[in-house]
Structure 1
Amino acid sequence: MGDATPSNGGHAATGLSDAEKRELREGLIATVVGVGVDDAAAHLLIQQLSANPDALEAIIQPSLSDAARLAALHSTGLLDTPDSGALDTVALLTAEALATPFAAVSLLDDSRELIIGRNAVHGDGERVRPAKLAIGKFTVVSGIPFIVDDATVHPLLANHPLVLSGQVGAYAGVPIFSDDDEAVGSLFSWTTRPHNWSGGQILVLQDMADLAGAKIFHRPI
């Protein structure tokens, strides 16, 4: 996603009314949850994004910049050590348990995603990337798991650079919450080809996200 410059026939993201923002949030949640939950809201979101590809920024950026969420994020002390690999073991165990090639743990502030755990170096190998490239932002903003069997046909991911490049073909992410229920990041796994995520894999991913949260916030395991 780019800046808030309006595309032909659309509003600037910052010029959306409160009602339009509510519709966007409802559509985002419906699209993240998947087919059959609220197809009308998801369809409306797709229409809005067709008119204005940057429309989601009106709800994504304010959510990422929320003061309480950022306070919880900074309380981890991990934003200052992006290269520590503090949760590499959690990512490794996640990939092994899911039998998938890649897994990672990330924290997301208002401008960047920090990979604080990964089972393998992938792509450019960097542990910090711009928030606009973070697929995990959909998990953090919605506060619910984001499960995608085929990223190439998903309305939120089909045009994402990581999908277009072939690095991501399927994706499954679960939010990580602070003690005050602020979504600060996510645990996610992905494959380079479409993959049908099983119910068992999703349950394991949720359990491992709880483990990651316990380590990040020093909760009893």
Structure 2
Amino acid sequence: MSSVYDPQRLGALAASELMDAAREETFDRLTRLASRMLRVPCSVMTLVDGDRQFFLSEDGMRPELAATRETPLSHSFCKHVVDRSAPLVVTDAREDALVADNLATRDLDVIAYCGVPLRLDDGHVIGAFCAIEPDPREWSAGDVELLSDLAALATEAITLREGRSERRFTHAAPPALAPASASVPVLDPRLETLAAALPAAIAEGAIEIGYTPLVHLASGDTWGFAARAAWNGLDHDELLALAHHDGVVVALGEHVLDRACRDLGPHDTGLVVDATATQLASPGFAERVVATLAAHGIAPRALVLAVDERALVGAGARDAHRSGVEDLRELGVAVGLDGAGTGSVTLSELAALPIDLVLLAPELAQAAHARTAAASLGAAQALALGAIGGGIADDQDVARLAQLGCVTGHGPHFGALIGPHAVGLRLLSPPR
């Protein structure tokens, strides 16, 4: 079992922060799908460390095991998948020399088992995706292939999960200030200074606004721009995070919208601006947005407010957020679900959301995530939602997304962020 205890593999597993993680619908959806498609009573996605296996997701497991979500390695078939870095197919564990003495057979009724490696992007096998039967079963090559495809989707979901983790503007407190068992996040002193100066910078108009071109994939024509803010070396996402920490995100968001409307109003072009959950819950937000548009002669239909899915779905979602979105749509503003395709929103939830379009996560432009992109765009098309692709880096990304039905997008392939004075020139320039 040398591969199970390999320090590099265990380090990669620890760095993934998946062990003991809360259950996620992204993974649960895959195990439910495995159970249905293979017609088995139980499917499990396991993570194997040096002394136990943890159930990242399970469908159909005994209630007591579903509650504890782990077993010692004495009850693990998946450890052999990790050790072999290859599928393990067991027709009848009682007659299989490799697992005949495994306590899972005696204690958990694991008789037939089919498991495939669950890998990280770097190649380390951190666990297994498996199907289990309490009776003997002959597994087919198609069964193994199906589990392998689902495991590949799980790997994509893990990669996207890591990629969408928010940057943290923190460092560990000195040991004397932190409990021995954990580090305490504290705001970096430089950022404390910036946070204190941020309200004045907003009031004085010192925030820099740049624009990302939004392009029709077929023609290359620029139809609009996404506004991005920056200040004192902080990019757009960092600045929003700092504004949240300092409690001035509503003022920052409204300043960005006003500046963007001023810059783009003369050009009769589309505009995409981020809207945070805090803004949506702010009383009168929708009316202030429409008033800002009117002040610059922009029709509400020209604006797309990009809303993070966490404002509308999940533990952080509140009625006030959804009410704010519905108010915006009633006033003619389009609302887009930002970061779509990262797996947190189910199809039924997507169908119920008060949105007009989806803005695909930038990772989905990559060939490695083509299946996820296809599923996301297919869902959008089925629900009559528009879609904007992100992260487009080359002609291959353009062709791939266009073939999947995406009409418009943005990314480095269409040029760098531009200043307000270059907007007009961009609109006059010929397509790429």
Mark yes or no: TM-score above 0.5. Answer: yes
What code does the residue aligned with 1:118 have? E
1:183 aligned onto 2:125: yes
Give the secondary-structure state (helix, strand or coil) at the position aligned to 1:75. Answer: helix
Q: Highest relative contact order (Cα 8 Å, sep 6+), 1 or 2?
A: 1
TM-score, structure 1 normalization: 0.67
Give the equivalent residue in structure 1 for 2:93: 151
Give % identity. Answer: 28
Question: Residues of 2 paired with 1:200 and 1:191: CA distance?
Answer: 17
The one-letter amino acid of 2:155's match is G
8 A contact 1:89–1:119 mirrored in 2: no
Distance in structure 2 (CA, Å) of the matches to 1:116 and 1:129: 12
1:199 and 2:141 correspond:
yes
SS state of the match for residue 64, structure 1?
Answer: coil
For residues 27-66 of structure 1, the aligned pairs below 5 Å read 60=1, 62-66=2-6
Unpaired segments ≥5 residues, structure 2:
161-367, 373-432
Alignment-derived partner of residue 88 in structure 1:
28
What amino acid is aligned across from residue 127 of structure 2 in structure 1? G
CA distance in 1, matches of 2:108, 2:74: 18
Task: Note if 1:72 corresponds to 2:72.
Answer: no
CA, structure 1 residues 158+89, in 2 after alignment: closer, same or farther (shift >3 Å)? same
Correspondence for 1:102: 42
What is the deviation of 1:168?
1.1
The 1:85/1:161 distance shift into structure 2, 3 A limit, reads: farther
Asked if the contact 1:105/1:118 (under 8 Å) is kept, the reply is yes
In 1, the alpha carbon distance for the partners of 2:120 and 2:30 equals 17
* Secondary structure in 1 matching 2:126: strand
Secondary structure class of the residue paired with 2:47 = strand
The answer to whether the 8 Å contact 1:147/1:171 transfers is yes
Normalised to the residue count of structure 2, the TM-score between the two structures is: 0.35
C-alpha offsets along residues 41-65 of structure 1, whole Å, 9 cap, x if unaligned?
xxxxxxxxxxxxxxxxxxx1x4222
C-alpha distance after superposition, 1:78-129 (max 9, x if no partner): 1242x42552221111111111111000111111111011112326322022
Q: What amino acid is the match of 1:72?
A: A
More strand by share: 2
Return structure 1 stretches of 4+ with deviation > 3 angstroms: none
Aligned residues: 160
In the alignment, the residues of structure 2 paired with residue 143 and residue 196 of structure 1 have an alpha-carbon distance, to the nearest angstrom, of: 21
What is the RMSD of the two structures over their aligned residues, measured on CA atoms?
Answer: 1.8
Gaps of 5+ in 1: 1-59
Counterpart Cα distance in 2 of 1:124 and 1:141: 27
Q: What code does the residue aligned with 1:101 have?
A: P
Q: Which of structures 1 and 2 has the bigger CA Rg?
A: 2
CA distance in 1, matches of 2:11, 2:102: 29
